[in-house]
Amino acid sequence: MSKEITGSEALILSLLSEGVDTIFGYPGGAIMPVFDCLYDYRNKINHILVRHEQGATHAAEGYARTSGKVGVALVTSGPGATNTITGIADAMIDSTPMIVISGQVASSLLGSDAFQEADVVGISQPVTKWAYQIRRPQDIAWAVARAFYIAASGRPGPVLLDITKDAQFGKVANYEYKKASFIRSYQPIPEVNISAIEEAAKLINQAKKPYALVGQGVILGGAEKELLAFLEKAGVPAASTVLGLSAVPTDHPLHVGMLGMHGNLGPNKKTNECDVLIAIGMRFDDRVTGDLKTYAKQAKVIHFDIDPAEIDKNVYAHVKVLGDAKETLAAVTEKIEKNSHQEWLQEFRACDQREYDAVIKHELYPTTGQLKMGEVIRKVSEATDNKAVLVTDVGQHQMMGVRYFKYSQSRSVVTSGGLGTMGFGLPAAIGAKYGTPDRTICLFVGDGGIQMTIQELGVIMQYGVNVKIILLNNHFLGMVRQWQELFFEERYSETVMTNPDFVKISNAYNIPARKVETREELDEAIADMLNHDGAYLLDVQVETKGMVYPMMPAGTCVTNILLGNE
């Protein structure tokens, strides 16, 4: 391109070159030149005006999680930029590819405490893969190309680009965009060690009780088919982390459930009974392992991961298989023998029966008393033929949601895993809908979490975003209350919620809503919500003091599992 353009136009053209079709943002003084330029490109890039910059980052996360593309947020300097830090940290710990572009005061004013100046690069460095300040317009294309490459490659994550106002106004001659494919000293995908592949295959072939732990790395690497081929050839039972859910369909015969503090009984107990533990694209989070001193000490551990920093970080791996799961799983599958471990698999199923009798049948199929979270989640999932995308906020409803929703295809779970960010759900659901517009988006949210970002209902109103919102309303900060009941002698300190009329609030945003208080009206209400052409909010009054079981108390052994009254 021979004509001279502004830095702002160079930014927009660079985003278009990376295939960006949707941006979530909020304008302000230090980013105004970019928004002015965006006006000329409004038919090529869809900008969604959020109501708070944190909402922009969570929406970008939701978009990335369902689309598999890089989410983009665009904000101004100072408080606009600092409001994104929670979302950036959330994306970092959950390996979500995202680019946050923030405006900055003119370079001549840097360090002078100018109006709305903040060192956002310094603030964000601990929670980004890369944070960079652009001070010259001719550096914009280079920086954007580098940002997209870093955000999307290897173990994905967030990148921040801070652009001074003079760089936005400045001129670029001979603009040219070249996508990045190499950065010196940055190796996103480690080389595969063939001897590690052979050693892993040998251990798997010899195993009597092999057990696979499936993490989000499988989904991020697009390795779902390779995973199923591996599991089916080896006959290995597989459980999923919260973010790994949907990599394997819920009804697959080798899928045995969810790991972790509120995971299924079998997946947790059998961790300490298997002889070979195969971790695939997961990081041995403390909510999965419990007390590391007692975790899987009898097992040989094989760890598949793309990030060398995760190997041996929490759990020692006897075999370390570095690389992209799509490549490494296929390589191991070639070398393993066809096998079946039906007797071992039946041990998981026996645990399923015990869990069903003690917990699940009471949660999913009650006939008396107040509505339960689990039964609502089950009914919504079944009403969508188990084909919807589950989005959750954080709390009891989150653990109930990921446990009892069912998944028939990948990228069907959008939730805040590692950071546990209340307020994530509503904006993430909006982003998830833009990321996969043809799928039904079901947001489960608590009365605490929804009020942290409730203003994003304005986005739904303005843009007509078709999100089904199921508010599981127990008038408590439910998860904190559960801990207070179990471990703090029922001293309910600051967990009781006096709530507004959510139906009136929803209607004020022109979103149809309905309050559900009885079991008899639930099916009809769910049908009305799903059949409505557009967004809808169900305020479901669920039991005030419900409990999420099973529960592994924090820091205890994975076999120390509470099953409620049992």
Q: What is the DSSP letter of 498?
A: -
Reply yes or no on whether 148 is catalytic.
Answer: no
Helix (H, G, I), strand (E, B) or coil at 431: helix
116 is catalytic: yes
Strand 389-392 with 413-414, pairing: parallel
Nearest to 436, CA basis, from 158, 62, 99: 62
Catalytic residue among 400, 452, 479, 551: 479
Active-site pick, 1, 4, 44, 115: 115
Taking a C-beta distance cutoff of 8 angstroms, is the pair 140, 14 a contact? Answer: yes
Catalytic: which of 18, 69, 133, 165?
165
Annotated catalytic residue 462: no
CB within 8 Å of 414: residues ≥ 6 apart: 61, 62, 65, 66, 389, 390, 391, 392, 428, 429, 432
Question: How many residues are listed for the chain in this entry?
Answer: 566
3-class SS of residue 160: strand
**Known catalytic membership, residue 165:** yes
* Residues 6+ positions from 109 with CB-CB distance below 8 Å: 117
Residue type, 482: Q
CA distance 213 to 289: 11
- Given 32, 116, 455, 541, the catalytic residue: 116
Catalytic residue check, 133 = no
- Calculate the CA 212 to chain-centre distance: 21
Contacts of 483 (CB under 8 A, 6+ apart): none
CB 78 within 8 A of CB 89: no
CB 48 within 8 A of CB 25: yes
Biggest alpha carbon–alpha carbon distance for the chain: 75
β-pair type (46-49, 238-240): unpaired
**E-strand stretches of 165-306:** 171-172, 210-214, 238-240, 255-258, 276-280, 300-305
**Which pairs with CB-CB distance under 8 Å and at least 24 residues apart come from 224-230?**
224/248, 224/410, 226/325, 226/326, 226/329, 226/330, 226/333, 227/280, 227/325, 227/329, 228/252, 229/329, 229/330, 229/333, 230/329, 230/330, 230/332, 230/333, 230/336
Set 18, 24, 35, 53: catalytic member: 53
Q: Kindly report the backbone phi and psi dihedral angles of residue 238, in degrees, each rounded to the nearest multiple of 5, phi listed first.
A: -135, 130
The answer to whether residues 453 and 58 touch, using CB atoms and an 8 Å cutoff, is yes
Half-sphere exposure of 305 (CA within 13 A, CB side): 23
Tell me the CB-side half-sphere exposure of residue 215, using CA atoms within 13 A: 24
Active-site positions read 53, 115-116, 165, 479
